[in-house]
Amino acid sequence: MTVRVRYAPSPTGHYQHVGGIRTALFNYIFAKRNNGKFFIRIEDTDQKRYNDNAVSDLIDSLVWLGLDWDEGPSESDLIDLGVSQAYAQVYGKKCEQSYVQSKRNDKYYKYAHDLIELGYAYPVFSDDSIEESEPDKVEARQKMNVYRWRMATPFMSRKAMATGQPYHIRLRMPREDDYIVCRDYLRGDVKFNYRKLYDPVLLKTPVDGVAIPSYHLAHVVDDHLMNTTHVLRGEEWLSSLPYHKYLFDCFGWDAPIYVHLPVILNPTGKGKMSKRETRSGTGEAVPVFLNQYKNNGFLPEAMINFMSLIGWNPGNNNEIFSLDDILELFSLDRINRTGAKWDIRKLKNMNNHYIRHMPLDRFVMEAERFI
């Protein structure tokens, strides 16, 4: 089996958060360690929050770190996503399929409707009278409407679909007093009570004739069609795993092996690393975006060394590792389950180490970036 892993960011923020980049790094390392393939997929299903700068910053970040990818958006896809022509020419990939979700809507549409045919999903039509009801009753009435369509017979649903009225599609999760058992590589079997799960949206109501998939549907379809063997992603996705596992089961597809990486904690060790800005124990502002480190004299090798140790341990007390060392030592079994803090002091020390050991010509080159 050839290992195939992906980094699948949603281009909603301006810049790559270090949490996302740590995920990219672990996927890259795992792919290289196993002579596998590492690919990039742009999960731009949330068009409202789409950020024009996001993909350019993603490419800049990966290129700066030296994490090259085997498959990903084509030159024209990159240009459409706002990447400069010069960069798109160099970093666009020639692949058989698009790695940008907004270019794959026909696939999601088809698979969502296949699930309706199989009885695993159902269409929900809006009920205009809901909006007219008292504001505090809107939510309850919307829920009732969803329930009504969940209970509709296939004949009723088909008949309503034939009228051409817009609808969204939801997954019909089992409603039983039972548990769905999902497997995470690091945690073993994780059980979720069906009663605590809801029916997630798979395909949203069309806007201007285009039905956009939800993240849940799109990434499951893509991980299947792109033959993803392992999914290394942040722990915050663990609670969505039952929906993903259930979707794979409904389609009759093998799910990839899931490895939920431990959360990165703020430098103080308290709470998940903030999205926009954070502070060290002494109150000093600590950057959360990779490009802030890049623009402030940090070296890619220091970032790689430091980030690889956030959630992974090499099994010895050494702290300084080149990417080659890490590739030699890396194994999933050495990924920890507990969160690890973004220890900015340690990162600075590592960076100093790499600066001190840098050949003079490289030092001059790096210094020129700041003149």
Closest CB to ligand GLU among 92 and 256? Answer: 256
Which residue out of 275, 294, 341, 346 is catalytically annotated? 275
> Which residue, 225, 128, 213, is CA-closest to 171?
213
Distance of alpha carbon 333 from alpha carbon 28, whole angstroms: 16
With CB under 6 A as the contact rule, which of the stretches 7-15, 124-132, 317-325, 359-367 interacts with ligand GLU?
A: 7-15
Beta carbons of 266 and 272 less than 8 angstroms apart: yes
Minimum Å distance from CB 21 to ligand GLU? 12
Closest CB to ligand GLU among 22 and 219? Answer: 219
22 binds ligand GLU (CB under 6 A): no
Q: How many residues bind ligand GLU (CB under 6 A)?
A: 9
Minimum Å distance from CB 258 to ligand GLU? 9
Residue from 16, 28, 43, 115 in contact with ligand GLU (CB under 6 A): 43
Minimum Å distance from CB 277 to ligand GLU? 20
9 binds ligand GLU (CB under 6 A): yes
**Tokens of residue 334, six digits:** 């050495």
Closest CB to ligand GLU among 192 and 215? Answer: 215
245 is catalytic: no
Residue from 8, 40, 310, 347 in contact with ligand GLU (CB under 6 A): 8
> Which residue, 189, 316, 166, 161, is CA-closest to 245?
189
37 binds ligand GLU (CB under 6 A): no
CA Rg value for the chain? 23
Minimum Å distance from CB 8 to ligand GLU? 4
Minimum Å distance from CB 78 to ligand GLU? 18
Span 129-148, contacts to ligand GLU by CB under 6 A: none
- Rounded to 5°, the CA angle 155-160-161 comes to 100
Minimum Å distance from CB 96 to ligand GLU? 22
Closest CB to ligand GLU among 150 and 187? Answer: 187
With CB under 6 A as the contact rule, which of the stretches 6-14, 128-136, 319-327, 356-364 interacts with ligand GLU?
A: 6-14
Buried b (16+ CB within 10 A) or exposed e, 71-87: bbbbbebbbebbbeeeb
Residue from 3, 4, 10, 61 in contact with ligand GLU (CB under 6 A): 10
Residue 329: CB atoms within 10 Å: 18
Closest CB to ligand GLU among 124 and 217? Answer: 217
Site string for ligand GLU, 202-241 (x = CB under 6 A): -------------x---x-----------x-x---x----
Sign of CA dihedral 101, 104, 109, 112: negative
Contacts by 28-32 with C-beta closer than 8 Å and gap 24+? 28/67, 28/69, 29/308, 29/323, 29/326, 29/327, 29/330, 30/3, 30/5, 30/230, 30/232, 30/330, 30/332, 31/3, 31/4, 31/5, 31/70, 32/327
- Rounded to 5°, the CA angle 284-58-291 comes to 25
The DSSP bridge pattern shows strands 230-234 and 257-261 to be parallel
Beta carbons of 281 and 326 less than 8 angstroms apart: no
Using CA atoms of 97, 99, 100, 106 in order, give the dihedral in degrees to the nearest 10.
Answer: 40
The residue behind tokens 């497997």 is 183
Span 286-305, contacts to ligand GLU by CB under 6 A: none
Minimum Å distance from CB 290 to ligand GLU? 15
* Residues of this chain that bind ligand GLU (CB under 6 A): 8-10, 43, 215, 219, 231, 233, 237
Q: Which sequence positions are flagged as catalytic?
A: 275
